[in-house]
Structure 1
Amino acid sequence: MGDSMLELESDTFDHLDLQLLSALEADARASFSRIAAALGVSDQTIARRYRRLCEHGGLRVIVLRDASRLGQDQWMLRIRCAPDSALAIAEALARRPDTFWIGLASGGTEVLCLTRPRTPGDHDELLLGKLPRTPNVVEIRAHQLLHRFYGGADGWIRKFAALTEDQIGALRPDGEPVPAAARLEPEDEPLLAVLERDGRATYPELQRATGRSESWVKRRLAALRASGAVYTDIEYHSETLGYPVVASLWITAAPAALHSVGEALAGHEETAWVSATAGPSNLVVTAMTRSTAGLYAYLSGPLGGLEGVQHVETTPFLRRIKQLTYPVPR
């Protein structure tokens, strides 16, 4: 990646921390010694920085199923609630295993939530069963995600361009099989149950959880990653990097310009996630900026200048309730 205008602005973390996060985005299961060799520091330094990022930066490593590659539906829910009830509803949703990226928006009266139902029954049970019967839910808008332009295995940290291509190449897993069609089998569930809690779980830990041999665990995880069925991801507090403002942008683009606008948005430094969606708007974006003024500069500048954009609705996150697989501690 070329030079980036994104800069680290934090009194707590420095460029080496950013490089470590970038290395974990490249391969979150890479050993500390491999990361240290790529970054030119000691193993002890990487271990110490990793622990500090976990304790003070909210760092967690997770292995996730890639719904897009697996052909599974994903939905973005916008749940409008009566005053003083949104937090309780958001926290209840956060306890479900089929939800992630939950936040409060619209002055605390709207819950934004991504869902990843593993069966049609999960989707029906949530949208047609539980939510409509939930007291104080005023309105539910469900937007099916149609095409991912950015996100998933492509993390926002890489837009800082903290690593060279050679460093990224040194960190990527090697020895993996030729990618095959993305597919999960029932016997993968115990393996993924551990990795969705701790993406750096050791092979002996995975062996004990699955009851399989260590060689089987290594081969199966390598095959799942190579096929794209799963990928490693990291979650962290963006405010520790100096980017506390997070907003969802609901964008309407002219149908003929939908793909070109989506591709352009994916290249913007402020965007952490971009997807085409069904519903009144046809694109949804997660944007991250240093300040409210920075968000305005993005809306009126790079985004506002895109040909084909007809309308933008901005909903800043007031509080993150859940990032990937676990609720955010209060």
Structure 2
Amino acid sequence: MTDELDRQIVAALIRNGRAPYRLIAEVLGQQERTVSRRANKMLASGLLRVQSFPSPTALARVDLYMLRVDVEPALMDAVASWLAGREQTHWISSLAGSSSCAVEVFLPQEQVNEFLYEQLARVEGVRDFSLNPVFEYYRTVSGWRPDILSTEQYEQLSPAEDPRFVTGYSSSAPAVLDDSQRKLITLLRDNGRLTIEEMASGLGVSKTTASRKIESLINDGVLFVRAVLDPADIGYPVEGLVTVEVDISDVDRVGRYLADLPSTRWAVNVAGRLQIQSAVRNLAELYTTVREISALKGVNSVDLSLFTKIYKRSTIAYQQGKLPALQASGDTRFVSVLGPRQ
């Protein structure tokens, strides 16, 4: 990242991927043309992208799990790359604390056995695995607030996210989408900052209709639009998975506290244990974070494992350790998550 203003622009787009440059400029106290020029330069370079991500639990009957796979060390790349190629996985990282990788995966209940024992178990290099349900999200990556902007600035850009959207559909019927909504989700998959005019043209509808459709999808938690990048690019090169054992009566209180830490990219309740992905500037800052968590009332233990390599982030599989260049318009990698036409 070039300088502090670039980092501020990226932080704004993490908070609200569709925030008008006019609003970002107002929040940052800059001129709109300066913000627009810098943001477009980063987007064109591939350093930053803004994309849409439909919530699988809102669109199909699937459940969210955290998967830990123990791997033969020499075959980590092969196993993690195989996992990254599965459409059911959204995020994958190898861990330094053990020869294993951590995976976020969405699966229908009836496919769990097939995925684990008929597919994953047969991959060369897999030694063991464990799959645990995610009971609740306290923060998603869309809610990450790196301490680049103030709380007030983040609130000006967008209200705080409601992470319950991610797991809140498990007990209700999936959303029913019409053809134009499905097409809109696909259009925004390549470029989350399409203008209303471009969306209207792509859908063959009026600008008012296009605007109403995207607002409905976002407000209902069906669609997330956010910046995707490596935290290292904005000054947070140290990432790790922190697992917190908590008294059952304190899970929600501690979970909300962890979610509010500036270093927390996401925070979840995994089968009664809390897990967070932490991104910080250096190991000293990570040590301070772990000590702070350990001192919380109700916390019994804290386990940390640094990420050694990212294989997939926000549904995007890495290529040679980096986010790949954007696909040409019409990419359909995520269409299957939209579920059957209804």
- TM-score with structure 2 setting the length: 0.78
Task: From the superposition, tell whether residues 172 and 286 of structure 1 become closer, same or farther in structure 2 (CA, over 3 Å).
Answer: closer
| Residue among 286, 310, 315 paired with 2:305 | 315
The superposition leaves residues 100-147 of structure 1 with CA deviations (integer Å, 9 ceiling, x where unpaired) of 221111368312111123x44554542243112212111111121101
Task: From the superposition, tell whether residues 108 and 153 of structure 1 become closer, same or farther in structure 2 (CA, over 3 Å).
Answer: same
Alignment of 1:287-302 (within 5 A): 287-299=278-290, 301-302=291-292
- TM-score with structure 1 setting the length: 0.80
Q: CA deviation at 1:205?
A: 4.7
Q: CA deviation at 1:208?
A: 5.9
Return 5+ residue gaps in structure 1 as ranges: 1-11, 174-180
Alignment of 1:61-100 (within 5 A): 61-66=50-55, 72-100=62-90
Alignment of 1:17-166 (within 5 A): 17-54=6-43, 58-66=47-55, 72-106=62-96, 109-117=99-107, 119-121=108-110, 123-157=112-146, 159-162=147-150, 164-165=152-153
Provide the rounded CA distance (Å) in 1 between the counterparts of 2:231 and 2:126.
Answer: 30
Provide the rounded CA distance (Å) in 1 between the counterparts of 2:212 and 2:235.
Answer: 39
RMSD, aligned α-carbons:
2.9
Task: From the superposition, tell whether residues 207 and 120 of structure 1 become closer, same or farther in structure 2 (CA, over 3 Å).
Answer: farther
Alignment partner, residue 185 of structure 1: 177
Residues 54, 224 of structure 2: 8 Å contact kept? yes
Q: CA deviation at 1:207?
A: 4.7
Residues 97, 304 of structure 2: 8 Å contact kept? no
Query: Which is worse superposed, 200-209 or 232-241?
Result: 200-209
- Number of aligned positions between the proteins: 305
Provide the rounded CA distance (Å) in 1 between the counterparts of 2:220 and 2:268.
Answer: 22
**Identity among equivalent pairs (%):** 25
Alignment partner, residue 283 of structure 1: 274
Are positions 1:226 and 2:219 aligned together? Answer: yes
Provide the rounded CA distance (Å) in 2 between the counterparts of 1:266 and 1:163.
Answer: 14
The superposition leaves residues 274-296 of structure 1 with CA deviations (integer Å, 9 ceiling, x where unpaired) of 11011xx6111111122223222
Task: From the superposition, tell whether residues 35 and 65 of structure 1 become closer, same or farther in structure 2 (CA, over 3 Å).
Answer: same
Residues 57, 240 of structure 1: 8 Å contact kept? no
The superposition leaves residues 155-180 of structure 1 with CA deviations (integer Å, 9 ceiling, x where unpaired) of 233x4434735x843x449xxxxxxx
Provide the rounded CA distance (Å) in 2 between the counterparts of 1:81 and 1:147.
Answer: 28
Q: CA deviation at 1:79?
A: 0.8
Provide the rounded CA distance (Å) in 1 between the counterparts of 2:74 and 2:227.
Answer: 31
Provide the rounded CA distance (Å) in 2 between the counterparts of 1:82 and 1:92.
Answer: 14
Provide the rounded CA distance (Å) in 2 between the counterparts of 1:201 and 1:233.
Answer: 13
Provide the rounded CA distance (Å) in 2 between the counterparts of 1:328 and 1:251.
Answer: 28
Q: CA deviation at 1:258?
A: 1.3
SS at match of 1:200: coil
Q: CA deviation at 1:264?
A: 1.8
Residues 67, 132 of structure 2: 8 Å contact kept? yes
Alignment partner, residue 338 of structure 2: none
Query: Which is worse superposed, 38-47 or 317-326?
Result: 38-47
What one-letter code is carried by the residue in structure 1 that aligns with 2:266? W
Alignment of 1:154-303 (within 5 A): 154-157=143-146, 159-162=147-150, 164-165=152-153, 168-169=155-156, 171-172=157-158, 183-185=175-177, 187=179, 188-203=181-196, 205-207=198-200, 210=203, 214-278=207-271, 282-299=273-290, 301-303=291-293
Residues 90, 104 of structure 1: 8 Å contact kept? yes
Alignment partner, residue 177 of structure 1: none
Q: CA deviation at 1:246?
A: 0.5
Alignment partner, residue 16 of structure 1: 5
The superposition leaves residues 204-228 of structure 1 with CA deviations (integer Å, 9 ceiling, x where unpaired) of 5545655555543322111111222
Task: From the superposition, tell whether residues 201 and 298 of structure 1 become closer, same or farther in structure 2 (CA, over 3 Å).
Answer: same
Residues 97, 305 of structure 2: 8 Å contact kept? no
The superposition leaves residues 8-37 of structure 1 with CA deviations (integer Å, 9 ceiling, x where unpaired) of xxxx44332233123223431233344334
Task: From the superposition, tell whether residues 56 and 197 of structure 1 become closer, same or farther in structure 2 (CA, over 3 Å).
Answer: closer
